[in-house]
């Protein structure tokens, strides 16, 4: 490659900039730890949308779980104390269960419930309390069964056959068949969660109102909520684990990105989520810290398998090669994301980077299109939303893709919808005429691939919105889910990965780094390889 | 007067019923399924049907509507579909917040708009007149969502005089003063259009009043100018001004939505916008009903005030 | 103006022609209104001839030169967040922003004219009923109504025009209705009936011109408000959507980078909306003044 004078200058500029960044201390994965931690203070966090409900089993979306997990804990949790650089996939750790055993055939889980734990209302935690919670999400005949919670946590409890409590602090769950992702799914919170709620609070307020009076076991307890303004939590001084330094945490919904940045600059909040990519550099210059990681996030396109053009594998492969992921990450998104080279997110044991299938090669793309019978390209429609949880800046990103594809002859028309409407539209599947629909998702368990590619979960029955169906893939994923060891499962998931990549069923575009901007007063915040975080270690100077 | 009031109250009730039916029908046409939005990405068709049944959304429309109306008459506004909370617990605080914002704007509108209009009328066709009317007009022609951000940038960020958004301080939410200081910028932004309208109307009415025959006569008979203006013309311009201010109050109830979004003011406008796009029927029904109610009451009060001030309209009524 | 010495239809025809001439002359004297008309005509022409005038394709951008300020060589007004030329988008944007301002007002005006005149002239209980039904719509804040309809129809230019048009009908109909009722009671209508003119002729030839005046004034002012409202709908995501080079969309997109020092992206289209809205309003004022008999004769009183 011959470097023109202009290119040389551009490269030098980049090199110098990088050197400067390194010198000044660029984005870190954990905020500066200058001085010694001390107790006290109120942390104000500007979040990107309102939390839906403080009922962890009914709540949906990452934003809600980030707040709820400060108050509620599952049986099995993830260790979020290490930044992504140190732990690409967060390790599982005991939550409200101190330990667990799995029967040799992989169908019976025995959990030992943590002793001497009290809910925020003083009632004790025991196996009966956990059973109460599980039945709420699973047992239709249970007095406090909640269809909404069951709908959200569907994937976790589907394989459950029966519950037993051999003694007051032991819980036994028997599955219909081995379900390897189960433990990891217990720690998740993007679609409902298995956060344990105080049975007394559910009995007192009922399923519909308990969200106004959240009572959990976590390091923070609920103080008040003014919808659209704030959710206030206070330190739980009786917490069984590492007590937080902070006295209080206030979550403030600020959906307008400019408003969020303005609030941070005016010192009305101490940290903000989802900064507009163009603001990151100038915020850093003003003395703010950037904390980012590699969470299990993929911004991806689901191809419409019912569309005559998209049916063709060569077309899909061509589209994957025609998109300049690195260009988007650097020029448009100012490196607040990483190009995605696999359908799984990096925070996932089954992640395998594949630059051959997902790199930028417009010439090969044109070749493939010609082979497929479209030497002059074609036109189609792309569905996306205007904003939304984890969507970063979907419209400019879609426009960027539009321009990339135009270069290989593919003309796309954008169909943009407001987020909440988009969710229901997306879930109904890609309609005729639409080439693909965009979404953001991902989990630390490879099981996520099953959710979006299984033929039994084709829309409207499930989130496989493109209608992708590959019996061989289904079989491999079944083997992965019923494997009896994690290693065995991961091997099968990687095989599934290869099949999906070869089929080009999905086009992963970028992985969000989930940057948080923090004021210089905030210390101890860790950006783990997850879409949520712990606040126990955070302190204010 | 009593007959007038009774007739108006009756038509108010009819209008409100009409409003609720209209909203109900329109919302049936909104595409999208609130249950799907509620259950997020992982929803399966089976679960969606189950939840829909639990919420009673699979019953015939007329049954749903009547059930809702009965509930309202008993004070039960139902449960929000997307917020998992009783509608009344969300509606009333937010309605109150919108009324505070509308009230603040209306105050600015009165205090600035009416005197501005009057001064412009006194100096008709002068630079003051043309200039102030142009400025008023200009303010009304600017997209609020852009101007609002500029205002925030200047007065909140650069000068630091006011907070950037919201209704309360985040860390130490206070009382009356806290709200007041947060109220300034949003109510100024929201007041721009109504102030323009009121100023122009006040000017127009004032011009007419100043040139009216009986005023000329008063001047000719030697009554001092100050008295002419304050005692005589003011009384004459009050009815149309009160009328237009009442109309602006109604406009503000809906028009503040942009201000609520830009300034993150937790009002009903912003909530309704979210609910409309999410298809949250109970929330929309109740929200629109209450806005219509306030609107209609404000109109009624305005009409009564105008009738009291202007005997001529009383005769027509 | 006495017409007793002329036959009725001829008299009114003559009256109308001279009134129209007086109005136009009064308007021509009003420098501000003329200025507004010139501005609007210019904008319309630019929009019509966009393909010939626009230096670049408004939809194609180069992300490596995004957000460069006005004055960048080759890009007089700078570039937006996708690296698209702002001047080109501004020129093409006129097509969207002007359509969404003018078309709904025109269509709603026609519907409102028919509705209002029929209800106002034939009046009685049916007229009252129609107006009461329209009252229901008045109980909705206009912005929320537009949003609701837009949410039902979906986003896009045509749907935006439809949503706004539907929203405007009751307001314009009310103006027509009030004017019709007022005019119906006047002498010349009685005289026309006595002279044997049919109802249709009365409506069409006698009432229409007099009812049209307040409607035209109202409609022109409305166009100014509508262009701002449409931009607001785009901001909320229920109006015209990206990547259309609509000025409302451009302003809304530009907000994202406003605080970061790239003010030109939002401010330039915002200014366009501002200028066109003011022009419509000033023109409306001018028309209203021109139709005012006092002004026509040049008297200052």
> So what's the ipTM on this one?
0.81
- pLDDT over 50 (residue B37): yes
Inter-chain CB proximity B157 and A425 less than 8 Å: no
Look up tokens 């937010």; give the residue. B94
| Of the partner residues A229, A263, A268, the one whose CB lies closest to the CB of residue B167 | A229
Inter-chain CB proximity A386 and C243 less than 8 Å: no
- pLDDT over 60 (residue B200): yes
| Of the partner residues B153, B253, B255, the one whose CB lies closest to the CB of residue C259 | B153
Percent of chain C with pLDDT over 90: 19
Query: How are strands ordered across the β-sheet holding A271-273?
Result: A220-226, A230-235, A248-253, A42-47, A271-273, A516-518, A289-291
Inter-chain CB proximity A256 and B34 less than 8 Å: no
The minimum CA-CA distance between C82 and chain A, rounded to whole Å, is 7
The minimum CA-CA distance between C156 and chain A, rounded to whole Å, is 9
Q: What is the pLDDT, as a whole number, of residue A370?
A: 94
CB contact at 8 A, A345 and A295: yes
Residues paired with A94 in a beta bridge:
A76
Inter-chain CB proximity B261 and C236 less than 8 Å: yes
pTM exceeds 0.95 for this model: no
**Residue of B36, B50, B84 for testing the chain A interface, max A β-carbons within 10 Å:** B84
pLDDT tens per residue across span B132-189? 888 888 887 888 888 888 889 899 888 889 999 888 888 888 888 899 999 999 999 9
Inter-chain CB proximity B164 and A262 less than 8 Å: yes
- pLDDT over 90 (residue B270): no
CB contact at 8 A, B244 and B197: yes
**Residue of A331, A396, A422 for testing the chain C interface, max C β-carbons within 10 Å:** A396
CB contact at 8 A, A378 and A410: yes
Beta strands in chain B (DSSP E): none
Distance of CA A403 to the CA centre of its chain: 28
Cβ atoms within 10 Å, residue A168: 13
User: What are the backbone dihedrals phi and psi of residue A47, each rounded to the nearest 5 degrees, phi first?
Assistant: -100, 160
Inter-chain CB proximity B279 and A424 less than 8 Å: yes
Chain C residue nearest residue A276, CA to CA: C256
The minimum CA-CA distance between C159 and chain A, rounded to whole Å, is 13
Q: What is the pLDDT, as a whole number, of residue C135?
A: 73
Q: Which residues of C touch B281 (CB under 8 A)?
A: none
Inter-chain CB proximity A211 and B168 less than 8 Å: no
Does C224 touch chain B if contact means CB atoms closer than 8 Å?
yes
The minimum CA-CA distance between B99 and chain C, rounded to whole Å, is 14
- pLDDT over 60 (residue A82): yes
Q: What is the pLDDT, as a whole number, of residue A35?
A: 76
pLDDT tens per residue across span C2-27? 444 445 555 656 666 666 777 777 77
Does B277 touch chain A if contact means CB atoms closer than 8 Å?
yes
Average pLDDT over residues C42-68: 88
Q: What is the pLDDT, as a whole number, of residue B1?
A: 67
Residues 6+ apart with CB under 8 A from A149: A55, A57, A58, A136, A137, A192, A207
Inter-chain CB proximity A416 and C64 less than 8 Å: no
Does B168 touch chain A if contact means CB atoms closer than 8 Å?
yes
Inter-chain CB proximity A268 and B163 less than 8 Å: yes
Cβ atoms within 10 Å, residue A528: 27
Q: Look at residues B250, B237, B240 and name the one whose alpha carbon lies nearest to residue B292.
A: B250
- pLDDT over 80 (residue B23): no
Inter-chain CB proximity B264 and A256 less than 8 Å: yes
Does A298 touch chain C if contact means CB atoms closer than 8 Å?
no
Q: Which residues of C touch A421 (CB under 8 A)?
A: 151
Torsion angle (degrees, nearest 10) of CA C110, C115, C119, C125:
-170
User: HEC profile for chain C?
Assistant: CCCCCCCHHHHHHHHHHHHHHHHHHHHHHCHHHHHHHHHHHHHHHHHHCHHHHCCCCCCCCCHHHCCCCCCECCECCCECCCCCEHHHHHHHHHHHHHHHHHHHHHHHHHHHHHHHHHHHHHCHHHHHHHHHHHHHHHCCCHHHHHHHHHHHHCCCHHHHHHHHHHHHHHHHHHHHHHHHHHHHCCHHHHHHHHCCCCHHHHHHHHHHHHHHHHHHHHHHHHHHHHHHHHHHHHHHCCCCCCCCCCHHHHHHHHHHHHHHCCCHHHHHHHHHHHHHHHHHHHHHHHHHHHHCHHHHCCCCC
User: What residues of chain A, 252 to 311, have a C-beta less than 8 Å from chain B?
Assistant: 252-256, 258-259, 262-263, 265-266, 268-269
Inter-chain CB proximity B273 and C236 less than 8 Å: yes
* Structure token digits, residue A14: 């980049």
- pLDDT over 60 (residue C298): no
Q: Which residues of A touch C261 (CB under 8 A)?
A: 282
Q: Look at residues A134, A244, A241 and name the one whose alpha carbon lies nearest to residue A186.
A: A134
Q: What is the mean pLDDT of chain A?
A: 90
Q: What is the pLDDT, as a whole number, of residue B316?
A: 45
Name the most confidently modeled range: A72-76, B222-226, C113-117. A72-76
* Structure token digits, residue A232: 């206030």
Does B278 touch chain A if contact means CB atoms closer than 8 Å?
yes
Question: How many contacts does A have with C, using Cβ atoms within 8 A?
Answer: 68
Question: How many contacts does B have with C, using Cβ atoms within 8 A?
Answer: 130
**Residue of B29, B30, B39, B275 for testing the chain A interface, max A β-carbons within 10 Å:** B39
The minimum CA-CA distance between B117 and chain A, rounded to whole Å, is 34
User: What residues of chain A, 209 to 238, have a C-beta less than 8 Å from chain B?
Assistant: 209, 211-212, 226-230
- pLDDT over 70 (residue B48): yes
| Of the partner residues C155, C237, C259, the one whose CB lies closest to the CB of residue A258 | C259
Does A309 touch chain C if contact means CB atoms closer than 8 Å?
no
Inter-chain CB proximity C256 and A414 less than 8 Å: no
Look up tokens 């704030």; give the residue. A230
Give the confidence band of C301 by pLDDT, cuts at 50, 70, 90: very low
| Of the partner residues B23, B143, B276, the one whose CB lies closest to the CB of residue C251 | B143
* Structure token digits, residue B274: 């979210």
Q: What is the pLDDT, as a whole number, of residue A501?
A: 93
The conformation of residue A91, written as its DSSP 8-state character, comes to P
User: What residues of chain B, 54 to 113, have a C-beta less than 8 Å from chain A?
Assistant: 54, 79, 82-86, 89-90, 93-94
The minimum CA-CA distance between B180 and chain C, rounded to whole Å, is 25
Torsion angle (degrees, nearest 10) of CA C167, C220, C228, B114:
-100
pLDDT tens per residue across span B202-255? 887 777 777 777 777 777 777 777 776 667 777 777 777 777 777 777 777 777
Q: What is the pLDDT, as a whole number, of residue C1?
A: 43
Give the confidence band of C174 by pLDDT, cuts at 50, 70, 90: confident
Nearest-angstrom CA–CA distance, A505 and A469: 9
Chain C residue nearest residue B211, CA to CA: C301
Q: What is the pLDDT, as a whole number, of residue C293?
A: 61
Q: What is the pLDDT, as a whole number, of residue C146?
A: 82
**Residue of C237, C253, C263 for testing the chain A interface, max A β-carbons within 10 Å:** C237
Per the model's pLDDT, the better-predicted residue between A363 and C4 turns out to be: A363
User: What residues of chain B, 188 to 227, have a C-beta less than 8 Å from chain A?
Assistant: none
């Amino acid at each position: 490659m011959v470097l023109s004078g202009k290119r040389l200058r551009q490269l030098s500029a980049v090199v110098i900039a990088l050197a400067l960044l390194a010198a000044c201390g660029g984005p870190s994965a954990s905020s500066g730890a200058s001085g010694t931690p001390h107790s006290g203070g109120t942390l104000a966090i500007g979040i990107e949308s309102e939390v839906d409900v403080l009922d962890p089993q009914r709540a949906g979306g990452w934003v809600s779980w980030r707040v709820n997990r400060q108050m509620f804990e599952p049986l099995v949790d993830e260790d979020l104390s290490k930044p992504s650089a140190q732990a690409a996939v967060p390790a599982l750790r005991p939550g409200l269960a101190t330990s667990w055993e799995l029967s040799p055939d992989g169908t019976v889980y025995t959990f030992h419930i943590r002793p001497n734990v009290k809910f925020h209302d003083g009632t004790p935690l025991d196996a009966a309390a956990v059973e109460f919670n599980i039945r709420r999400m699973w047992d239709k005949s249970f007095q406090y069964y909640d269809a909404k919670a069951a709908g959200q946590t569907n994937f976790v409890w589907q394989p459950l056959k029966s519950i037993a409590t051999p003694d007051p602090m032991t819980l036994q769950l028997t599955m219909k068949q081995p379900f390897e992702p189960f433990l990891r799914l217990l720690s998740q919170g993007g679609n409902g969660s298995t956060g344990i709620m105080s049975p007394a609070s559910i009995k007192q307020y009922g399923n519909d109102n308990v969200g106004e009076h959240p009572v959990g076991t976590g390091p923070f307890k609920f103080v008040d909520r003014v919808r659209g303004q704030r959710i206030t939590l206070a330190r739980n001084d009786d917490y069984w684990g590492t007590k937080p330094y902070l006295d209080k945490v206030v979550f403030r919904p600020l959906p307008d990105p400019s408003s969020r940045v303005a609030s941070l600059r005016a010192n009305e909040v101490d940290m903000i989520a989802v900064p507009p990519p163009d603001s990151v550099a100038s915020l850093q210059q003003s003395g703010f810290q950037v904390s980012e990681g590699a969470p299990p996030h993929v911004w991806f396109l689901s191809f419409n398998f019912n569309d005559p053009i998209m049916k063709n594998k060569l077309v899909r492969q061509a589209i994957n090669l025609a998109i300049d992921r690195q260009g988007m990450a650097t020029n448009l998104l100012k490196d607040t994301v990483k190009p995605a080279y696999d359908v799984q997110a990096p925070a996932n044991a089954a992640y395998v980077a594949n630059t051959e299938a997902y790199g930028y090669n417009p010439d090969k793309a044109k070749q493939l299109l010609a082979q497929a019978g479209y030497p002059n390209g074609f036109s189609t429609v792309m569905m996306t939303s205007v904003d939304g949880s984890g969507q970063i800046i979907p419209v400019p990103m879609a426009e960027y893709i539009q321009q990339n594809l135009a270069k290989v002859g593919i003309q796309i028309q954008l169909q943009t919808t407001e987020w909440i409407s988009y969710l229901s539209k997306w879930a109904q599947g890609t309609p005729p005429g639409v080439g693909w629909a965009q979404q953001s998702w991902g989990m630390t368990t490879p099981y996520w691939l099953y959710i979006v590619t299984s033929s039994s979960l084709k829309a409207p029955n499930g989130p496989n919105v493109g209608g992708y169906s590959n019996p061989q893939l289904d079989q491999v994923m079944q083997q992965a889910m019923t494997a009896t060891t994690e290693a065995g499962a991961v091997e099968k998931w990687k095989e599934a990965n290869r099949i999906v990549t070869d089929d080009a069923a999905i086009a992963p575009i970028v992985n969000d780094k989930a940057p948080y901007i923090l004021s210089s007063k905030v210390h101890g915040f860790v950006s783990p390889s997850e879409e949520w975080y712990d606040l126990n270690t955070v302190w204010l100077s | 007067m009593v007959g007038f009031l009774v007739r108006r109250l009756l038509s108010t009730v009819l209008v409100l019923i009409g409003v609720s039916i209209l909203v109900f029908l329109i919302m049936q046409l909104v595409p999208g399924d609130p249950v799907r939005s509620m259950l997020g990405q992982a929803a399966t068709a089976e679960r969606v049907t189950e939840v829909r049944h639990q919420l009673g959304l699979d019953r015939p429309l007329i049954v749903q509507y009547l059930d809702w109306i009965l509930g309202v008459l008993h004070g039960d506004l139902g449960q929000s579909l997307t917020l998992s909370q009783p509608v009344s617990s969300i509606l009333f605080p937010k309605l109150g917040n919108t009324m505070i914002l509308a009230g603040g704007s209306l105050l600015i509108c009165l205090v600035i708009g009416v005197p501005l209009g009057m001064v412009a009328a006194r100096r008709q066709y002068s630079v003051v007149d043309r200039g102030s009317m142009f400025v008023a007009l200009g303010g009304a022609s600017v997209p609020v969502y852009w101007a609002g951000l500029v205002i925030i940038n200047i007065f909140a960020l650069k000068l630091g005089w006011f907070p950037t958004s919201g209704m309360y301080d985040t860390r130490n939410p206070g009382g009356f003063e806290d709200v007041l200081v947060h109220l300034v910028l949003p109510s100024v932004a929201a007041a721009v259009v109504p102030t323009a309208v009121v100023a122009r109307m006040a000017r127009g009415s004032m011009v007419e009043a100043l040139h009216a025959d009986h005023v000329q006569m008063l001047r000719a008979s030697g009554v001092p100018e100050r008295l002419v203006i304050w005692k005589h013309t003011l009384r004459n311009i009050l009815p149309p001004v009160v009328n237009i201010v009442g109309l602006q109050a109604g406009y503000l109830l809906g028009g503040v939505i942009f201000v609520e979004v830009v300034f993150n003011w937790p009002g009903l406008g912003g909530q309704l916008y979210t609910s409309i796009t999410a298809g949250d029927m109970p929330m929309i029904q109740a929200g629109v009903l209450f806005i219509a109610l306030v609107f209609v009451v404000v109109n009624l009060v305005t009409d009564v005030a105008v009738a009291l001030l202007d005997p001529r309209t009383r005769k027509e009524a | 103006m006495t017409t007793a010495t002329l036959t009725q239809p001829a008299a009114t025809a003559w009256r109308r022609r001279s009134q129209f001439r007086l109005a136009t002359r009064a308007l021509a004297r009003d420098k501000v209104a003329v200025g507004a008309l010139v501005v609007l005509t210019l904008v319309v022409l630019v929009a019509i001839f966009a393909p010939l005038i626009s230096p670049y394709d408004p939809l194609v951008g180069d992300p490596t030169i995004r957000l460069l300020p006005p004055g960048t060589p080759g890009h007089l007004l700078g570039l937006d967040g996708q690296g698209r030329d702002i001047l080109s988008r501004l020129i093409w944007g006129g097509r969207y922003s002007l359509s969404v301002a003018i078309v709904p007002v025109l269509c709603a005006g026609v519907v409102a004219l028919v509705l209002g005149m029929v209800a106002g002239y034939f009046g009685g209980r049916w007229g009252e009923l129609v107006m009461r039904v329209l009252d229901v719509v008045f109980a909705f804040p206009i912005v929320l109504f537009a949003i609701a309809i837009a949410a039902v129809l979906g986003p896009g230019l045509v749907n935006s025009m439809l949503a706004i048009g539907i929203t405007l009908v009751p307001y314009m109909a009310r103006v027509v209705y009030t004017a019709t009722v007022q005019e119906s009671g006047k002498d010349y209508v009685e005289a026309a009936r006595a002279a044997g003119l049919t109802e249709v002729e009365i409506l069409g030839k006698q009432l229409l011109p007099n009812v049209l005046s307040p409607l035209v004034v109202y409609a022109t002012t409305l166009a100014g408000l509508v262009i701002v409202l449409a931009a607001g709908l785009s901001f909320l995501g229920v109006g015209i959507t990206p990547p259309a080079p609509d000025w409302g969309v451009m302003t809304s997109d530009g907000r994202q980078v406003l605080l970061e020092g790239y003010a030109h992206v939002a401010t330039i289209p915002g200014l366009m909306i501002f200028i066109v809205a003011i022009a419509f309003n000033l023109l409306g004022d001018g028309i209203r003044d021109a139709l005012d008999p006092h002004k026509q004769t040049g008297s200052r009183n």
